[in-house]
Each structure stands twice: as structure tokens, then as C-alpha cells.
A and B are shown apart, each in its own frame.
Chain A
Amino acid sequence: MTDIKKIREEFLDKLKQNLELPEVNQIKTDLFGKNGLISSQFKKINSIAEAERKIFASDLNIIKNELQDLINFKINEIGTGQINKKLDKEKIDITLPERPFIQGKIHPVSQTIDEISSIFSEIGFSVEEGPDVENEYNNFTALNTPDNHPARDLHDTFYLAENKERLLRTHTSPVQIRTMLKDKPPFKIIAPGRTYRSDSDQTHAPMFHQVEGLHIDENINMGHLKGCLNYFIKEFFEVNNIKMRFRPSHFPFTEPSAEVDIGYELKDGKIVIGEGDKWLEILGCGMVHPNVLKNVNVNSTKYQGYAFGIGIDRLAMLKYGINDLRAFFECDYRWLNHFGFDPLDVPSNYRGLSR
């Protein structure tokens, strides 16, 4: 047996044993150190007869690689073993509580406003706003509700001046007036916001939210109104089949006027929107009265269109199964936490209104 084969046998045996890191390092030095056994053999290459040199060099390389690999493997093995040993002592109780995350919430009214805006955005409405304090003209007179009109009694108005000139808007309709006075037709807007009436019981709060809609252009008729609201209601309640009915009503600022009911049924005491045989009123609408258009200098022989007003809080109650309107504004942490939305749930067209 040649020297190098002997070396190989000997060290393969050694490396098979259970070794500590220093021992492996010693073997490494013994073999590959400056005067190591393998290193010495390499020095001999030039002194070997030419005929055998090639074979010798080749064999030596193979043996060198084999031993080197084995040493590296051993070193690795020992290292891993050491870490694993250490880890055995590092076990924690992962069932202990994590650091608390403080979850913020978006109010259901805000979420509903975003849902509504998202739906109307899809069919070309943009959002307008108006002030909470209004003058009597914008809130009533311009909307074809003069001072002596009994319809004013239906609005329990908060006044800011004894002469009743200034008030808290009783509906979002004055935004129609402001928008039309400011710009030129066509108009296609929604206006969500706070509204106020001096009324407080189970189903009324002195402050609530409405969204106004206004679409004025040439040849916009009641069919467009019906189509628009039909689209909205289906999208909002996220049901494919929903019964909707238009019922004649009266608002001074629209003519013809309608109230819109949707179908529902009661299942286990809960309202299920869709195809039941009961009707629930959810909004008022109509064709903008020519008198209103005249008041805002829009030519009513050329332009016409519709307007609607929807109670946002009520829609939120229906969609999210909330029973008491007043709870919206009582700021009870438990309620807000229960009915509030994760701020990451931004309603949008492409990913849908809700998860």
C-alpha cells in the first residue's frame, strides 16, 4: 500500500470516531498544516518519476478532497450539534400573551359614507360639501319651501338667531343650492354630511347623517333616477336580488316626488334585506322642481334631473344590524369596538365594499 493510501485509511478511521472540535482541528493541522502529512506528499510530486507522477498527483488530489470534505462535514456537524444543545435550554412558553396591539376603529357611519361614495363614484358622481350652519334661504326658501309652507313644520329646526335667519341645516339639500349657484350644469354630485333636527327619541337623534344626490343634465328623466337608485341599493346591500318600489310622495323641492321602499323579511328577529314581503322606507327622491332650478339660475327648459336624500345612519343600521340609532352617538367604547371597522377595510370598487 502506498503511503498516501495508508494515510487515507488511518485518518478515515480517526474521523469516524466521536470527536470534539479541537480534535478535528488537530487532524486538520496534521494533514494540511505546513508540514502536514498531505501537504508533505504534495511537496514530493516533483521528485517522482515522470511515468508515475500523473497517477500519483491524481490519487493524491482525490484523497485530499475526500479528507477535506469529511473534516468540513465534521466541523459543521459539531457546530450544529452545539447550537441544538443550546436551543434545548432556550424554550419559552409561546402561549404567554404577546405584547398588546391597540386596535383602532372607524365609526360605522364613516365606513358607510365611504361605501356610499365608492358606489356613486363608479357611476360618475363626485363629492360636494356644504357648511353645517346654513341660512334660512338655502335650507328652505331656495328649495321651494317658503316661510308659510307647512312642510317646514316637518323639520324641527335648530336656530342660531332669533330672527331664524341662521340655522343648523335640517337636510343636506342646501348643498344642491350651493353647488348649482357655484357652477354650471351638468351636475352630478353626492353630498354626505351632518344634519340636525330638534328631535330625540328611539328613532331620532338631534344630529344624524344624510347623503344628498343631484344629477342635472339635458334629458335626465325618472327612468335614470330609478336606474341609479336601483344600482346603488344592490351594490350597497351586496345582494343580487332586492325588491325596490317607488311610491308617490311629496317634497317641496322635487316634483314628481317619490319615496323608495326595499323588501325585507324578519328571520329570527333580524331584518334580512332582499325579497321578503315587507317594505321598508329608505329614501326620498324626485325630479328637481323647476322652481328650484329657477332659484339657482339653471334654465329648466334645457336642463332637468333628479335629486335624492338618503339617511346614512339608517342605512348603516339596516346593513350592519344595529337596532338603536342613538347608540351611534353615545360613544360607548364597547359599542364602538363591536360595530367599528378596521381602518384597513377601505371600501373600494376593485376589492369590493367589504371583505
Chain B
Amino acid sequence: MKITFNWIKDHLITNQTESKLLESLTNIGLEVESIANTSKGLEKFLVAKILKAEKHPNADRLKVCDVDIGNDQVIKVVCGASNARDGLITIYAPPGAIIPKNKMKLEISKIRGVTSYGMLCSEAELNLSNESEGIVELVKENFDKRVGQLYFQKNNANLIDLSITTNRPDCLGARGIARDLAASGFGKLNELKNEKLNSKLKQKINVKIIKENNQGCTVFGSCLISNVKNTESPKWLKEKIISIGQKPISAIVDITNYIMFDLNRPLHSYDADNIKKGIIVRNSKKGETFIALDNKEYKLQEEMCVVSDEDGVLGLGGIIGGTRTATKLDTKNVLIESAYFVPRSIRKTSKQLNIDTDAKFRFERGIDPNSIEIGLYRAAKLIKDICGGDISKIDIQKTETYKKKIIKFNTILFEKISGFKIQTKKMIEILKDLGFEVQNKRNYLNLKIPSWRPDISQEIDIIEELIRIYGYDKIKSIEPIKNRIKPTLNKTQKLFHFLQRSVASKGYIENITWSFSDSKINKLFKEDKKEIKIVNPISLDLDVLRNSIFSNLIIYLNKNLDRGFKDLSFFEIGPVFYGSLPGEQETVIAGLRSGMVSRLSWLEKDRKIDVYDVKRDVIQTLVEAGYNQSKFFLDEKTPSYYHPGKSGRIFLNKDKDKVAAYFGEIHPNILKQIDIKTESLIGFEIYLNNLKETKKNLKDQRPKYEISDFQKSKRDFAFIIDKQFEAQVLVDIILNTDKDLIKSVKIFDVYEGDNIPNDKKSVALNVTIQSSHKTLNDQDLEKINQLIIHSVENKTGAKIRS
């Protein structure tokens, strides 16, 4: 809502300053979004007289004018207007002036070889009207003596842009704003003059509201003004309209707009001669069409509220009028409409047709149903004053009679909600200032709600009004109590935060990417999950909810590779989706590493990042989170976006209950499709929802402290074993040969090649043997050695390498 202090002062007697006004507006909840000086720059435009207009030597359509700009100065201006002629008084913009319409700054320039010092302006260029044909023609009698003076009155009024919340339609007009200000003590609200018309003429155009389901119009008031002469608005009205950034059009249109911005009472004007046999307000039929004032043709659905006549739709009630009955400069008879349209209906229709107008904006928030008459009175009177003509009686058709709402307000509630007290006397004063009718009963107030406040329907609304006007600064701050009833985070949340920092501590940089992704990339990582389309995506490459974190993470990693970074470690923790129902999502932490280790190192030979680097990160993260590595179980079933031979999945135990994590090289085909260029790209995903809660607290997590001081022995073994045989199984067999004595098994070499059959590999292990009860002698050790060899050979078909 744009307004000026001057306009507010039409309703408010105050001697306060504008800066105080801005403060007050914000304090009562009418937030000042911005302020701007509208007349800034306009002080450059002068009244000027063309002394001589001659044809441009190099262009047929241009003229070179000698222009008197006062102070005995005559300058040359090149002008393309056909009406530029000797003796014309017009408006001149000097170099440096900014043209209001297109915000262009004028410079001295050569036009076809002739230097032009500034410009002669059309009305359109000055935002005075839509007239762009020719330059402004000022009336000689009025302006002859003003040549050289400023055309625009010096105007210091700032344009104040208020952000009016959706509950306050009454403040979409100057009077509503003034009323709130007055209640807060900023000034005194003017009485609205009683402007009843005393006409004896009948309103000859018959109006009928059809009673039907979901009728969107409940009251339709109208007034006919005949024999008018529509014209340009007088200066005061033009300036008023311009002062809030609107464009004057014609007197009739400007008057209806003026009343809308002044009283928040939208009106519509019809050229009555184009209404065929009276007005019918009814529901539209499917497929009806009409051309609206925005020059678009609209095809209507069922049950839209239309104002129509015998020939069809004239306009959408409360939203937009049609061209057929639009008032023009030659309009003779005007019908003014002042109606009440139901917000729900307005909203539904405007949404379906995607129309937004000032009227729609107001009606959908709720217009004062008691403002119908005053709107008609004011409009009729102004039209008569400016355009002449005869005013008819007003005609009001209605299907419902508005009754003011009544609320019983228990005054004790105020303190209960606000935390502080004000006297009942003060409450009554505030409410009366806001337009409530108040009866003071002993413990409560009986309140009649003003008709312009559709937002007020219960006691809490009254409390808000009182605090708002009395001042939010009066609320006393109560220190919070430092007392915790419940742990801040539950186990799952703790795990989330722990894993996040655990992964970051391994050199990964946290990214936050969109929850939506590009369906083309998402497809590569979707597996058998459902694609979840967004109906109205913000762009075509963010059209689905992500099924995996990898799609976005890879896209962004790739962008960084393009920036010239090579060895990157990125991760993200967040939701991935497997359905479009609330809750069909799970939390995943996914990481990617690209490039090399020890690139450009003087110490070590460089090598590609490999699966075992990332496996370390995953395993260590899980171990840090409290899971027991000795129970982990791995196999090689992984999603198709991993390299089938270089990837694995991790279970927290052999039950293979739920997959805790995947890790592995990203499938080369995917790198090709996304066009990623890096030496290596390895990723992992940990599924938080699949991680069981670690049952114990940190204090219970450690097993009993048991150590042995007896001598430990280390023995090396090398087995020749099938190439496909998993190291995990081999280690398990050895550990299980004697759980008491074998403390650990470490693989220190895996070899394939010379001296080993093609389908075999050699695995070398170092086994630590220690008893908790005694020092083992050679015999004991030999026994356990043999046991290990036998178990492995029997269970795996391996051969000890001699």
C-alpha cells in the first residue's frame, strides 16, 4: 500500500513530523517497507515556449525548434512531434533531467547532425497520461506568463510504502491508516462528512442479483450519472493519483481509483449506454468468454461471479471489468457500481484465471460492507463536480443484510496473555478510537465490531488490538528459567550430529545441496525407487525430489573440478526420498573423494584415491559412532551406480539385517554420462535410519578391562588360496580356531603373479597368540600353529605356502 503523509492528513489532524509518522506506523503494525521521494528530479522540468519550429535539414519527420526557456535564454531542441509549432507552450526537459516514464537521463546529443539541448516532452513521457502522440500542449492563457518556471509544483512529500498484513484490509485505504494512527495518539481522526445525495431521478438501469449456490455477490449498489462530459482530471486529482505512483487516465477512472485508495472502497464505472437491458449478477457458465480491461480474453469456468447483461459478461465482479462497457472520454452516461463480493469467491476466481488487480486484492481480504453508500455518494458528487451531469438516486440490491459481530470480552484475559495490566478505561478508549462500540459490563466489555474489521472474531483478536495500540514495548521481558526437563537431543539426533563431525574430521567438506535434483542425473542413482516429481519446479533441472544425495553432490563436485580443483573430498548429510508421502524419506550421509593422494608431493609418490581410502573413512566413522568393528560383515552387493567389482556394503553384524553403508568406486559409465574428468572418484553412503541405536551410554560402552602380561608370540603364515576367496572369511576362520589364544590377525601381504597359479593368490598373515593364564611354551605354540594351518586348509582348500 503506497500513501503519502499529505493524503493521510486528509483524514487526520496532526502536527507531528513525517519521521515521527514512520515510527508510529511501524509501532502499530503498519510496517514501513520503504520511503521514496517522488518529486525528486521533477524540479528540472520547465514551462517553455517554441519560438520557431523548422524542418530538420537532414530528416523529414524531425523539427529543429528554437525554445524560450525563460531568463532570456533560447536554445535549440530537436523534436519529432508533429504538433511542435511556432508559439506552442509546452514542457521542456533540460540535459541531466530523468524522464519519469523510462528513467532515461538526458544528455546533450547530436541528432542527425544537429545538436539538441534537451527535449520537449509528451504527457506519456511525464507519466501524466497515456497520451504519447505529440508533445504536451499547455493552455496559452494559463501558462504564457509562466515560461521559464518549474512545471511541477515543488513537493516534498515522500511516497511511503506500507507492508499491510493480510488481516488488515481496512488499512488499504488512507482513512484506515489514519484511524489506527489516531488511536495510537498520533492525531485526531476527522469526521466523515455526511454526503447524502438528494436526487429525485430514478436509477434507470435495472440490477438483479440471481440467488443461486455460491453466489459471490451479496450487495450491488449503483448510481447513474447521465449527460456527463468525461475529461482529463483536474490538477489536484491528477497530482493525488500521481503522488502514490499511479497514472491518471480520465476523470471518471481517476475518481473511482481515488475513492478506492482513500476509503478502501473499490468502485467500478460502466458506460451505461453499452449495457443492454440492465445488469444481472450471476454465476458464469462454463466456457463463457469476455475481453477484460487488460485486453486479454478470459474463458470462464463455472460459478465465477460475473456482472452481465443480455448480451453476456460485462466483467468479473470485484476483479476486473470488460472492454465492452469501459468508460471512455466520449462516455455520456456512467453507471457507478459499489458492491460487496465474497472474499472466498474472489480468491477462487482470480486464482483460476490468474488475475491480480487492486480491486481483487482488496475484495479477497474483505471490504467494509457498510461502505457501499458512501462510495456511491462520493463518486457521484465528484463526477458531477468535474464532468457535470445529473445524478440519479442510488439503487441497492442485496441478498444478505450485514449485521455487526458482537464479542463479549473478558478484560482479565488481557493480562493473562500480555503479562501486564492496563486499566479498563484505557482499553475502552483504544477500542472506541478503533471504531468499536463498547458497553462496559462489570467483568467484561460488550463489543460491536466495526464493519471494516473482518479479521476480528474472538477475544484474542481484541487482546491483539489493545497491545498493538498500547505498544509492544510495554511488554515486560521475563528472564527464561534454566531448567531442562528432557534431553536436548535424542539418540538419533545425537548420531546425526556425531556422524556429521566425524566425517568432516576425516577431511571431508560439508555441502548443503537442494533436496530436489535434476531428473536426468537423479535417474542414474535412483535404482528401483519411485521418481517423485515436483508439480511446479523452480527450474527444469530441479524437477524431482532426490532419491540419492549423490546426484547433487556429483553435480557440484564436478563444478569444482571445472574450477580447476582436483583432489576434493565432499560430503552432505540430509534427506533422500523414496515416496511422496510425509515421512517417506531417510537420512543419509554421503561422501565423495576425487583425484589423487600425494599429488605433487616431494615426499611420496602420488597415487589415485582408492576404495580402501574411503573404506577406512566409513569404517572409522562407524567405529567412532560406537559400533564394534569386529562384528561388521561385508559383502559385495551394491547399487548399480558403483563399480561392480570395486564396491561393498557393510552390515553392523552377520545377521545382515539392514545395510549400514555402501562404499566404492563410482561406476565409470556414470562418470562418462556426467562428463566428469578426474583420475578417480570414490564414494560412500551411510544410512542413518539403518544404524541401530548403540544401546549403552559412553560409560557402559567399554567391555571389562582385561589384559594379559604373559608373553605374546607372533607367527607369520602365507596361504595360497582361490582368488575369489574373501579375506574377511579367512581371518574369521583363524580367529575362531582358538578364541582365547588368538588375539589378532593382520593381513600384511596379498600377492598374485609369478610363482602363484593363475586362479590363486597368496595371502600373508601375522597372527598374535597370547594366553591370559600362562606363558606359552614351544609345544603350545606349535600346537596352535598346526591347528591354524589345518583349519584354514580344511575349510578353504587353501595350501600353506612353504
A343 within 8 A of B: yes
The 29 sampled A-B contact pairs (Cβ below 8 Å) are A101-B507, A104-B508, A109-B512, A110-B510, A117-B488, A120-B488, A123-B482, A124-B483, A131-B582, A131-B583, A131-B584, A131-B585, A133-B580, A135-B582, A138-B582, A150-B347, A150-B365, A158-B516, A159-B535, A159-B536, A168-B515, A221-B417, A223-B478, A248-B28, A248-B29, A250-B168, A255-B464, A256-B468, A259-B31
Given the contacts A99-B603, A150-B347, A222 and B488 also touching, CB distance less than 8 Å: no
Q: How far is the CB of A341 from chain B (nearest CB, A)?
A: 9
* B476 pairs with A247, CB closer than 8 A: no
List B contacts of A110 (CB < 8 A): 500, 510, 512
In angstroms, Cα B484 to Cα A43, docked, is 84
A98-124 to B contact mask, C-beta < 8 Å, 1/0: 011111111101100010010011111
List B contacts of A134 (CB < 8 A): 582
B461 within 8 A of A: yes
A316-333 to B contact mask, C-beta < 8 Å, 1/0: 000000000000111111
Quick one: which of B461-490 are within 8 Å of A by CB?
461, 463-464, 467-468, 472-473, 475-490
In chain A, what residue has the closest Cβ to B579?
Answer: A133
B500-523 to A contact mask, C-beta < 8 Å, 1/0: 111111111111111110000000
* B602 pairs with A96, CB closer than 8 A: yes
* B416 pairs with A103, CB closer than 8 A: no
B692 within 8 A of A: no
Q: Which listed residue, B460, B478, B536, B601, touches A158 by the CB 8 Å rule? A: B536
List A contacts of B481 (CB < 8 A): 123-124
In angstroms, Cα B585 to Cα A226, docked, is 36
* A221 pairs with B583, CB closer than 8 A: no
A266 within 8 A of B: no
* B510 pairs with A160, CB closer than 8 A: no
Given the contacts A223-B477, A231-B480, A332-B560, A304 and B417 also touching, CB distance less than 8 Å: yes
In chain B, what residue has the closest Cβ to A343?
Answer: B504
B348 within 8 A of A: yes
A46 within 8 A of B: no
List B contacts of A96 (CB < 8 A): 602
* A333 pairs with B480, CB closer than 8 A: no
In angstroms, Cα B539 to Cα A54, docked, is 108
* A329 pairs with B513, CB closer than 8 A: yes
* B468 pairs with A221, CB closer than 8 A: no
Given the contacts A134-B582, A228-B480, A106 and B29 also touching, CB distance less than 8 Å: no
In chain B, what residue has the closest Cβ to A178?
Answer: B582
Stretch at the interface among B10-18, B565-573, B675-683: B565-573
A186-224 to B contact mask, C-beta < 8 Å, 1/0: 001000001010111000001100000000000101111
* B493 pairs with A129, CB closer than 8 A: yes
In chain B, what residue has the closest Cβ to A139?
Answer: B582
Q: How far is the CB of A180 from chain B (nearest CB, A)?
A: 15
* B509 pairs with A249, CB closer than 8 A: no
* A331 pairs with B504, CB closer than 8 A: no
List A contacts of B166 (CB < 8 A): 149-151, 154, 250, 252
A30-44 to B contact mask, C-beta < 8 Å, 1/0: 000000000000000
List B contacts of A248 (CB < 8 A): 27-29, 464, 467-468, 472
Q: How far is the CB of A337 from chain B (nearest CB, A)?
A: 7
In chain B, what residue has the closest Cβ to A145?
Answer: B166
- The range of chain A's interface size is 35 or more
Interface centre among B343, B460, B508, B603 (most CB of A within 10 A): B460
In angstroms, Cα B509 to Cα A123, docked, is 32
In chain A, what residue has the closest Cβ to B366?
Answer: A150
List B contacts of A160 (CB < 8 A): 532-535, 545, 580
List B contacts of A154 (CB < 8 A): 166
B556 within 8 A of A: yes
* A223 pairs with B560, CB closer than 8 A: no
In chain B, what residue has the closest Cβ to A120?
Answer: B488
Count A/B pairs, Cβ under 8 Å: 249
* Known contacts A124-B484, A166-B581, A333-B568; 17 further A-B pairs (Cβ under 8 A): A104-B505, A117-B489, A124-B483, A126-B488, A133-B577, A133-B582, A133-B585, A151-B166, A188-B485, A206-B538, A224-B478, A227-B479, A245-B472, A247-B31, A250-B167, A331-B556, A340-B509
In angstroms, Cα B29 to Cα A168, docked, is 30
In chain A, what residue has the closest Cβ to B560?
Answer: A333
Q: How far is the CB of B465 from chain A (nearest CB, A)?
A: 9
Q: How far is the CB of B458 from chain A (nearest CB, A)?
A: 7
Given the contacts A105-B510, A135-B582, A329-B514, A258 and B472 also touching, CB distance less than 8 Å: yes
List B contacts of A151 (CB < 8 A): 166
In chain A, what residue has the closest Cβ to B583?
Answer: A131
List A contacts of B515 (CB < 8 A): 132, 168, 194, 196, 207
User: Main SS of the interface on chain B?
Assistant: loop
Given the contacts A158-B536, A329-B513, A331-B559, A343 and B480 also touching, CB distance less than 8 Å: no
In angstroms, Cα B717 to Cα A223, docked, is 75
In angstroms, Cα B563 to Cα A334, docked, is 10
In angstroms, Cα B479 to Cα A228, docked, is 7
Q: Interface of B with A (CB < 8 Å)?
A: 26-29, 31, 165-168, 343-344, 347-348, 364-365, 416-420, 458, 460-461, 463-464, 467-468, 472-473, 475-490, 493, 497, 500-516, 532-538, 542, 545, 556-557, 559-560, 563, 565, 568-570, 574-575, 577, 580-585, 601-604
* B165 pairs with A250, CB closer than 8 A: yes
* A255 pairs with B461, CB closer than 8 A: yes
List A contacts of B502 (CB < 8 A): 343
In chain B, what residue has the closest Cβ to A117?
Answer: B488
List A contacts of B493 (CB < 8 A): 127, 129
* A328 pairs with B476, CB closer than 8 A: no
In angstroms, Cα B478 to Cα A331, docked, is 42
In angstroms, Cα B344 to Cα A223, docked, is 36
In angstroms, Cα B31 to Cα A196, docked, is 25
List A contacts of B478 (CB < 8 A): 221, 223-224, 226-227
In angstroms, Cα B468 to Cα A336, docked, is 43
A157-198 to B contact mask, C-beta < 8 Å, 1/0: 011111000101000000000000000000010000010101
Q: How far is the CB of A182 from chain B (nearest CB, A)?
A: 13
List A contacts of B542 (CB < 8 A): 206
Q: How far is the CB of A223 from chain B (nearest CB, A)?
A: 3
* A230 pairs with B536, CB closer than 8 A: no
A15 within 8 A of B: no
Q: How far is the CB of B33 from chain A (nearest CB, A)?
A: 11
* A106 pairs with B510, CB closer than 8 A: yes
List A contacts of B585 (CB < 8 A): 131-133
List B contacts of A159 (CB < 8 A): 534-536
A125 within 8 A of B: yes
List A contacts of B489 (CB < 8 A): 117, 126-127
In angstroms, Cα B512 to Cα A333, docked, is 12
Given the contacts A105-B504, A168-B515, A221-B419, A194 and B575 also touching, CB distance less than 8 Å: yes
Q: How far is the CB of A151 from chain B (nearest CB, A)?
A: 5
Given the contacts A102-B507, A162-B535, A222 and B419 also touching, CB distance less than 8 Å: yes
A276 within 8 A of B: no
List A contacts of B536 (CB < 8 A): 158-159, 198
* A126 pairs with B365, CB closer than 8 A: no
* A126 pairs with B487, CB closer than 8 A: yes
In chain B, what residue has the closest Cβ to A199?
Answer: B538
In angstroms, Cα B467 to Cα A159, docked, is 37
Q: Which listed residue, A104, A166, A224, A252, touches B507 by the CB 8 Å rule? A: A104
In angstroms, Cα B739 to Cα A286, docked, is 64
In chain B, what residue has the closest Cβ to A306?
Answer: B417
A56 within 8 A of B: no
In angstroms, Cα B162 to Cα A248, docked, is 13
Given the contacts A247-B31, A343-B504, A223 and B476 also touching, CB distance less than 8 Å: yes
List A contacts of B574 (CB < 8 A): 194
Q: How far is the CB of A156 from chain B (nearest CB, A)?
A: 9
Q: How far is the CB of A282 from chain B (nearest CB, A)?
A: 14
In chain A, what residue has the closest Cβ to B544?
Answer: A160
Q: How far is the CB of B683 from chain A (nearest CB, A)?
A: 15
In chain B, what residue has the closest Cβ to A215?
Answer: B480
In chain A, what residue has the closest Cβ to B476?
Answer: A223
